[in-house]
Amino acid sequence: MAGNDDKAHKQRSVLIHAGRPASGLPVPVNPPLVRASTYLHATAEEMRATEQRRLGGAREDYYGRRGTGTSFQLEDLLTELEGGHGARLASSGLAANTLVFLAFLRPGDHLLISDGVYAPVKRFVKSYLSDQQIAFDYVRADGSDIEGRIRSNTKLIYLENPGSVLFELVDIPAIAAIAKPKGIVVAVDSTWASGVTHHPIRLGADISVLSATKYLCGASDVILGAAVANESAWKRLNETADWLGTCASPDDCYQVLRGARSAAIRIEEHRRQAMRLIEWFAGKPFVRKIYYPELEDHPRHEIWKRDFTGSCGLFTVELRGVDAASVDRFVNSLSLFGLGSSWGGFESLVRVENERTIRSIDGENYGPLVRFHAGFEDIRDLIADLDAAAVMLGKY
Ligand SMILES: *Cc1c(COP(=O)(O)O)cnc(C)c1O
């Protein structure tokens, strides 16, 4: 656990109590699921007044595309967790990511984007944004070269903390201090922390983007995303989401609200499991390196200690001295680690990454990269599974 225990304790209480009605007792612990497209209004005058407030950007029970009571509660929970001004929910994490680009970039603008972002975000930037005459440059996944790459037309710095797969950490307060005087919006994909162990807006970013599909849901059966904004970025984010018709199903919001209540203790248990698995990998002859911000040899471990209150179940192992076919045989022969994308559910997962495309600008030659998500199975069973499969990686 990082040296931020007080903050972590406060977060746990927020997770349980935020976004729940405090008055009107008795009320059910979990507020009822509200499904609606159409809301009925009492009079034409009232309906018009509600519509006017709605068009001005207010959150109203007017028409279900903007949300219902269920999604509003999840917005409130995420806003409070992240220390933002407002949140917009989207049908997927990726839809929340792209909402941010669509909100803050126009033709002629320039984007600085981390080389460590989630791969589908890179595909969006490369294809869609280029078509819109929006220029972009990658910056290192740790953000260390941002200052020299800012142009007069740079409007958005888009980061992921930590970076996907290799978990590089960025110094958000330092980057915000550079961006703010120039009026550049700073957005951070904070899915790894899921609103629980790290809060980019509290550290100076304008926007925090989350895939709620991962730990906030926690059960691998919902796709949902959110973008949370501070006060200065809120209007633009909110109106863009209205223009685009960005929305999320109340059923999915209900599931994620329920999952979020236990997210802190689940994440901590995922972390404990991951630490045990990492111990197993450490020192094995076929392991070149283990990527996990909590490890003291992480190049920016100090930032993790300063800016995070915990880690989670996700880590990547870089192998050495093994060919691609052996790596495939190794993961194929695991029986408790499912082969699958995504993470954050109760089950252990494994995925072979493409080490040749994982970073575009860092100039490193990576060995085979295998990403694990430590689930809640008995740790002895998980280790026995690894022990049995490791014969595929040679004798040790
Ligand atoms: C999974 C993920 C996303 C996309 O989320 P979906 O809900 O699957 O669309 C975005 N960013 C990061 C860092 C992710 O891990």
What is the secondary structure of 327-348 as a DSSP string? HHHHHHT-SSSEE-S---SSS-
Rounded (10°) CA dihedral 276, 9, 221, 375? 10
Mean pLDDT of 4-28: 83
What pLDDT is stored for residue 260 in this prediction? 97
Does residue 2 carry a pLDDT above 60?
no
What pLDDT is stored for residue 130 in this prediction? 86
Q: How confident is the model at residue 345 (pLDDT cuts 50, 70, 90)?
A: very high
Greater confidence, 31 or 146? 146
Q: How confident is the model at residue 8 (pLDDT cuts 50, 70, 90)?
A: confident
Q: What's the CATH number for 14-260?
A: 3.40.640.10
What pLDDT is stored for residue 395 in this prediction? 64
Q: Is 244 exposed, middle or buried (0-12, 13-18, 19+ CB in 10 A)?
A: middle
Domain 263-393 superfamily per CATH = Aspartate Aminotransferase, domain 1 (3.90.1150.10)
E strand intervals along the chain: 86-90, 110-114, 135-139, 154-160, 185-189, 207-211, 225-229, 287-291, 314-319, 338-339, 349-353, 369-373
Mean pLDDT of 147-156: 98
What pLDDT is stored for residue 1 in this prediction? 45
pLDDT tens track for 63-74: 999 999 999 999
What is the secondary structure of 160-202 as a DSSP string? ESSPTTT-----HHHHHHHHGGGT-EEEEE-TTTTTTS--GGG
Structure tokens at 1: 């656990």
**0.85 surpassed by pTM:** yes
Q: Determine if the peptide bond prior to 31 is cis (ω within 30°).
A: no
Indicate the top mutation candidate among 123, 213, 246, 255 to test ligand 1's pocket, ranked by most ligand atoms within 8 A of CB: 213
Of the listed ranges 15-24, 112-121, 194-203, 356-365, the one predicted with least confidence: 15-24
What pLDDT is stored for residue 191 in this prediction? 98
Question: For residues 172 and 192, what is the distance between their CA atoms, to the nearest angstrom?
Answer: 15
- Classified as helix, coil or strand, 227 is strand
Mean pLDDT of 279-284: 96
Q: What are phi and psi of 7, to 5 degrees?
A: -65, -40
Question: Do 329 and 358 meet the contact criterion of CB atoms below 8 Å apart?
Answer: no
Question: Measured between alpha carbons, how far is residue 196 from residues 10, 43, 77 in Å?
Answer: 10, 43, 11
Q: Return the ∠ at Cα 239 (arms to 234 and 242), rounded to 5°.
A: 130
Looking at beta carbons, which pairs linking 297-306 to residues 24 or more positions away fall under 8 Å? 298/167, 298/169, 299/142, 299/168, 300/142, 300/168, 300/169, 300/171, 303/169, 303/170, 303/171, 304/2, 304/162, 304/169, 305/2, 305/3, 306/2, 306/3
Q: Which residues are catalytic?
A: 65, 118, 189, 214
How large a percentage of the chain has pLDDT more than 70? 98
Average pLDDT along the chain: 95
Question: Do 158 and 117 meet the contact criterion of CB atoms below 8 Å apart?
Answer: yes
E strand intervals along 47-152: 86-90, 110-114, 135-139
Mean pLDDT of 91-109: 98
Q: How far is the CA of 64 from the centre of ligand 1 (A)?
A: 25
What pLDDT is stored for residue 396 in this prediction? 61
Q: Is the CB of 94 under 6 A from ligand 1?
A: yes
Q: How far is the CA of 206 from the centre of ligand 1 (A)?
A: 19
Domain boundaries, the chain: 14-260, 263-393
The answer to whether domain 14-260 and domain 263-393 are alike in fold is no
Structure tokens at 362: 């860092």
Token match 């595309």: residue?
Answer: 65
Indicate the top mutation candidate among 159, 209, 211, 314 to test ligand 1's pocket, ranked by most ligand atoms within 8 A of CB: 211
